[in-house]
Every structure is written in structure tokens, then in C-alpha cells.
Structure 1
């Protein structure tokens, strides 16, 4: 695949396999050209770095990088061993994160596998959830990761509520094409007391969750220091997430519809159903 060939989400879905146990995996040999690598030696170096990252994060590499080398016939009648791996979705994410960032396909793969891995972490049957259930799950994750993002920002030098508000605003501006928190708030027609994250659909929430998690990781990984640098980092990550949405042919976050119900309304309705069901059992 050359740089002129369209790069989109379908490339990764089209080479996905399902084994006899219903588990998904990708062949490293098939993933290599999709990520625009021409030589196995170079790609294998990326896989080795990904395996090291897997172990460092407390996971067993063989569970995510299954070595499935096979014999391949030679023109002269001989046989040679061809190295290959069956990669889990998490393994693909690590391969993308350790790949050559100059390759456009690698940058797209980083977002694609990160978002899909995050969905898998949220809940195994994510695709079977209703839109409201997805919103609740992602909003919960957003709360937790905003705490981690705030801690990383503080370490970088973002001190005080005013500085943090500016820092958050830069992330929104990057993701929303220049629109800040107040602009988004106004665009959604919300009251001052209402939080914009509580009035987002699952797709918009997922984009913001990815913005938050990747900014936190970059702040820590690159040891960003100084509030101006932290603000720029948040803005840059927001821009990259926006660019990926565009590459995938998705709807820009500011153009996504605002749900009729807020997260709080969904939670109250859910609590009422539980209470009603409990009352009937008594």
C-alpha cells in the first residue's frame, strides 16, 4: 500500500479474523502492508518494542502476541519458515503506538485501535448496549480520566482552577475546530449550571475521552513542563483527534446532535426502574 492509497477504518476491519473461540485477531503479516511497512525486519522491530510495552504494563505478551510461524514453499522446492503473529486488538494498539508516526496509516491505526480497545475495556458486549447505556459507560470513564488528566496537568505546571479551565479550553478548541467550552455550551443551548459532557452522545463522548486519555499520556511520556506547553499539548492532541475523525469520514463533534436527555436524567430513570423492580419483588 502506498501513501496515495486511501487510508480508512475499513482497512483494519477487512483484515480482522475470528478464531474458533470467537476471539478476534489480526495477522502481523497482513497488518504490515496496511501500516505502510515494506520490510518484515523493520516491522518486526516495532512488534518487539510493542511486546516490551505489553510486559511493562503488567500483561503477558504471549496472550496478545501469539507466535504462529509457518512453513512456506520455495521456488527451488525447498521450504523456509515464515515468522508471523496473531495479534489481539490490544497488541495492534501497542504496535501502532510503537510504529513510525510519520506514516499516515500508523497515526490512523493509533486512534482506531485505541478507541476500540477503550470500548472493549468499558464492557465486553459494548456493541450490544443501547445508546443510553453507552453514554453512561463512557461518561463514567470520562470522570475518572479527567481526574488523571488534572493530576498530569498539575505536574506539568497547571496550578489553580483558572489555569486548569484555560488548559481544558485548549483541548476543546483543538477538537472542536476553534470552539471553546463556552462556544460549545452555547451551541448546545445549555444553561450555565449544565455541563457539556452530560449532554453529549456516545460518539462525541468517545472523541473527548480519547482526547483526555491521550493528552494525559503525552504529558507524562514527554515530561511536559510549563502551563503554556501543557496547553499547547492539549490543543495539539485535540487537533489530531479531529483530523482522524475527518480521515475516517466521521461527523465533526460540533455537528453531532445533542441528546434529548442528559446523563443525570438517564441515571434517575435507571434508578427509578431499579427501585420499581425491587419494590415488585418485595
Structure 2
């Protein structure tokens, strides 16, 4: 029985094949995610497969059926069905898992951020702090467009309504601070964008907030600006709670980088020339 949860439990059951490709086994992930019965976990996997299909991803690329041989105590063998899972498959599984389980929330954070990093660039962990900031900041730009679209479809229409909607996401992620408060804390001008003055860790938390809010708005078919605001607030709180459970630093306490994203881009362009 697992009594302490941290992201290392997901790394500890990761397998690397002869070609350097990573995968997880469903039976092992079942144990880590605290599902006592395979039949219940199979239902979660089925939902994850459907989500993969709806996202125009080949199920066979992320869920590979395999068989394992188990030796019986009295002698003889039994074939046990298992599934090799990609990181993306694991992400979809925890997204469809029991939200009441503490480890599910942890898994959502771990696989979402790691999957996003993998999508951004294969050697993400080898990048410098400035390079990581640029990569994640550019990803947030794209996902904020998707978030704005999802919010609009939910009923958040005017610029003022969207500003209120965005503040709700910041408020519970930042322990009650809204966008104006965060700017004051970072000594920023009103015209400066908060996201351009965050380190990669703080940016990653906000990327997770944005992607998960967009996903929940669409998945739950949220309608009405008040419900959309409440959803953004709820997701911000969930991200903050997960950071706390992991023993991480709260976003408002993370240091402000010396250089803005614009300065990093300017220096990068100079070096290319």
C-alpha cells in the first residue's frame, strides 16, 4: 500500500525500451492510482481511449495491448492482459480518474506538465532558464487563445467580463491576489503583462491553470459567465492545492526574473544575427 505520494512514484514505474522510448504499464499504474480492481480501472482506460480518439489521436499509438505470463503458486502459468501506455495515455487516464483521490490530482499535474514539456521540445530539461521561459510563455500564448474561445462559448463575451474571468483564475492560484495585486507585488506597470515577468516554474503553473480550465469548460459544457468564473476559480485552487501537497513554492512567493520575456527575445535575435 502506498502511503506517501509525490511525483517520484510515477517516475519509479516508468519503463524505457531498447530504443530509448518511455512507457508505463497499466497494471502498475492501477496500483499507484489506488484502484483495487482491474475492472474499475479498465473503465477509466476506456474513457481515456475515447478521449484520445476524439482528439484525433491514434489509440494504437498510445495504448498498446501486451500479455504477461504469471506463474501460479501450484505450478502452471496464467496469461495476464496488460497495456503499454504512452505519457499522453497516462495523462488522459488521470484526467478521467476519480477526482476524490489525492493521487489523481497529483497525477494530473505531473502528466500534464511533463506531457506539455515533451510537446514543447524533447530536450526541455536541458534548456537554460531563459529558454524554458520562452518555450512555456509561447505555449501559454497559444493556450490563452483556446481558453478565450472556450470562455466565450460559455458566455464570457465582453472585454470586462473576460478580465473578471481571468482574475478569478489568478485569485485562487495566488492565494487571493488578483492581476493588479500581482503586478504591484512584482513592481510592474499597469501596461506590462504579468506573464512576461515570470520564471519558468511560475509560468508552468499558469499554463496548467489555463489548459485545465479550457478543458473543464468544454468537457462539462459550462454555460453562463458566473459558472465560467467559478470554474476558473476552482481550477486555480486545485493547482495551488497540488503545489502545496508537493511541497512547492507558492506562485506569489517565486522570485521575479531580472529579464523580461521581451529582453530575452531581443538578446536571442541579436545572437542569431
**What residue is the counterpart of 1:57 in the other structure?**
55
**What residue is the counterpart of 2:260 in the other structure?**
262
User: Offset of 1:111 from its aligned partner?
Assistant: 1.5
CA distance in 2, matches of 1:27, 1:152: 34
Q: 5+ residue gaps in structure 2?
A: none
Once the two structures are superposed, residues 146-187 of structure 1 have per-residue CA deviations (whole angstroms, 9 ceiling, x without a partner) of 111111111111121111111100100011010110111011
CA distance in 2, matches of 1:268, 1:32: 47
Q: 5+ residue gaps in structure 1?
A: 276-282
SS in 2 for 1:69: strand
User: Offset of 1:189 from its aligned partner?
Assistant: 0.9
Tell me which of 218, 237, 240 is aligned to 1:239.
237
**What residue is the counterpart of 1:24 in the other structure?**
22
SS in 2 for 1:68: strand
Tell me which of 9, 32, 39 is aligned to 1:11.
9
Once the two structures are superposed, residues 88-118 of structure 1 have per-residue CA deviations (whole angstroms, 9 ceiling, x without a partner) of 1111111111211121111211121011101
SS in 2 for 1:71: strand
User: Offset of 1:233 from its aligned partner?
Assistant: 0.6
Indicate whether 1:152 and 2:157 are aligned. Answer: no
What does residue range 1-282 of structure 1 map to in structure 2 within 5 Å? 1=1, 5-275=3-273
User: Offset of 1:52 from its aligned partner?
Assistant: 2.1
Once the two structures are superposed, residues 181-231 of structure 1 have per-residue CA deviations (whole angstroms, 9 ceiling, x without a partner) of 011101111122211100000010010011011111111111111111111
User: Offset of 1:73 from its aligned partner?
Assistant: 1.4
CA distance in 1, matches of 2:128, 2:241: 27
CA distance in 1, matches of 2:34, 2:94: 11
Structure 1 stretches of 4+ with a deviation exceeding 2 A read none
User: Offset of 1:11 from its aligned partner?
Assistant: 1.0
CA distance in 1, matches of 2:79, 2:272: 58
Alignment coverage as a number of residue pairs: 273
User: Offset of 1:245 from its aligned partner?
Assistant: 0.7
RMSD of aligned Cα (Å) = 1.1
SS in 2 for 1:209: helix
TM-score for both structures, normalised by structure 1: 0.94
CA distance in 2, matches of 1:98, 1:151: 23
CA distance in 2, matches of 1:41, 1:144: 38
